[in-house]
């Protein structure tokens, strides 16, 4: 009986110590700068969003949040670095819809898109833009589709990288429109836009934040947006579905995550800070301007469910479009 009482007392004391340690951890966090990694080139939508959110988090958390780009492999290089980082709350990552696509298009990854991470919150949802240079003979999406049908494999499209949402948006366009545009991967929005302007590739699927100034200046023609609703940043660019591509709707998203094993109390702290940042009208306006989409935060559980659902969705697209897995 005495042994049982001593054991119960020890368990109670241990639980109290854990609770105290957890409280101290939360109270002290953060005590030094935080790294925010993303997997795309500087100047693109992911980089722009990262810097806006980093600035807001720095204000809320009282420590600098330093943005670090690790571009390549559709965001997988950065995701791998995040997954392998020390789970202490001092490395967080911004991922996009490409994070879920990786599970669908790669036979194997060095990380698990859901299980290797702790989710913090979603940030925004936005469509993409199918664009050509202003001197391109295609004046509309219907023109481009007609040209592509006349020359199967004779036209190419650029994207921000293999395995990105931009890439699969093009592959899905091939499947839905019955055409065969060849994919040319670049390392981020800036490079694909530069390639379009330089005549290295005739078509790109890009992010509104970079293409809007080029479209507004007349250097680039936006043929269609990939979403089911028009983009506020480009209200005059029609939907791909309006050009006869039935059932075509591609939107990407962005969210924050941390390495698996990060203490739940720190995830809760980061989630609360992120939602506070997203509730700021100035931040919302900056993000909406940056991506031309909808700002929307979430709970960690909601973001986890989103990633799992997106993996299922894109796995089905890859299978139906007969896209070879690598």
| Mean pLDDT of the chain, nearest integer | 90
The answer to whether residues 181 and 114 touch, using CB atoms and an 8 Å cutoff, is no
| pLDDT score recorded for residue 14 | 47
DSSP H stretches of helix in 85-205: 98-105, 141-150, 165-177, 189-197
**What is the reported pTM?**
0.78
**Nearest Cα to 143, choosing from 230, 213, 203?**
203
| pLDDT score recorded for residue 326 | 82
Name the stretches of the chain with pLDDT < 50. Answer: 11, 14-22
Torsion angles phi and psi, residue 122, rounded to 5 = -75, 160
Q: Which residues contact 94 (CB under 8 A, 6 or more apart)?
A: 36, 37, 38, 46, 49, 50, 53, 123, 254, 255, 256
- Sheet with 220-225, strands from edge to edge, namely 182-185, 156-159, 203-206, 129-133, 220-225
Q: Which residues contact 112 (CB under 8 A, 6 or more apart)?
A: 103
The helix/strand/coil state of 107 is coil
> Distance (Å, rounded) from C-alpha 135 to C-alpha 225?
19
Tokens linked to 202: 């005739």
**Nearest Cα to 79, choosing from 269, 295, 206, 255?**
255
Q: Give the chain's radius of gyration (CA, Å).
A: 22
Torsion angles phi and psi, residue 8, rounded to 5 = -60, -40
| pLDDT score recorded for residue 17 | 42
| pLDDT score recorded for residue 181 | 95
**Nearest Cα to 31, choosing from 304, 320, 269, 209?**
269
**Nearest Cα to 129, choosing from 196, 221, 243?**
221
| pLDDT score recorded for residue 261 | 98
**Nearest Cα to 49, choosing from 294, 290, 299?**
290
Q: Which residue carries 């007392």 as its tokens?
A: 9
**Nearest Cα to 210, choosing from 158, 255, 257, 139?**
158
The answer to whether residues 287 and 112 touch, using CB atoms and an 8 Å cutoff, is no
């Amino acid at each position: 009986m005495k042994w049982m009482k001593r054991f119960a007392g020890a368990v109670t004391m241990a639980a109290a110590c854990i609770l105290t340690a957890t409280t101290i951890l939360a109270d002290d966090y953060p005590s030094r700068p935080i790294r925010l990694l993303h997997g795309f080139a500087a100047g693109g939508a992911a980089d722009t969003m990262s810097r806006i959110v980093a600035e807001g988090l720095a204000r809320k958390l009282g420590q600098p949040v330093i943005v670090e780009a690790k571009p390549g492999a559709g965001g997988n290089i950065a995701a791998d670095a995040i997954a392998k980082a020390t789970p202490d709350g001092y490395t967080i990552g911004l991922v996009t819809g490409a994070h879920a696509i990786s599970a669908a298009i790669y036979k194997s990854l060095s990380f698990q898109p859901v299980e290797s991470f702790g989710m913090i919150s979603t940030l925004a949802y936005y469509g993409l833009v199918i664009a050509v240079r202003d001197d391109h003979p295609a004046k509309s999406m219907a023109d481009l589709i007609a040209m592509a049908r006349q020359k199967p494999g004779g036209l190419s499209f650029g994207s921000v990288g293999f395995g990105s949402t931009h890439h699969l948006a093009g592959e899905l366009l091939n499947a839905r429109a019955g055409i065969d545009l060849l994919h040319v991967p670049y390392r981020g929005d800036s490079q694909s836009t530069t390639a379009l302007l330089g005549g290295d590739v005739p078509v790109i699927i890009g992010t509104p934040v970079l293409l809007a100034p080029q479209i507004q200046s007349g250097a680039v023609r936006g043929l269609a947006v990939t979403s089911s609703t028009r983009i506020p940043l480009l209200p005059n660019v029609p939907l791909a579905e309006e050009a006869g591509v039935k059932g075509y709707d591609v939107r990407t998203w962005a969210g924050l995550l941390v390495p698996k094993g990060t203490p739940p109390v720190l995830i809760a702290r980061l989630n609360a800070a992120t939602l506070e940042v997203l509730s700021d009208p100035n931040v919302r306006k900056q993000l909406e301007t940056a991506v031309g989409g909808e700002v929307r935060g979430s709970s960690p559980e909601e973001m986890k469910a989103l990633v799992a659902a997106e993996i299922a969705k894109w796995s089905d697209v890859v299978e139906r479009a007969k896209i070879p897995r690598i």
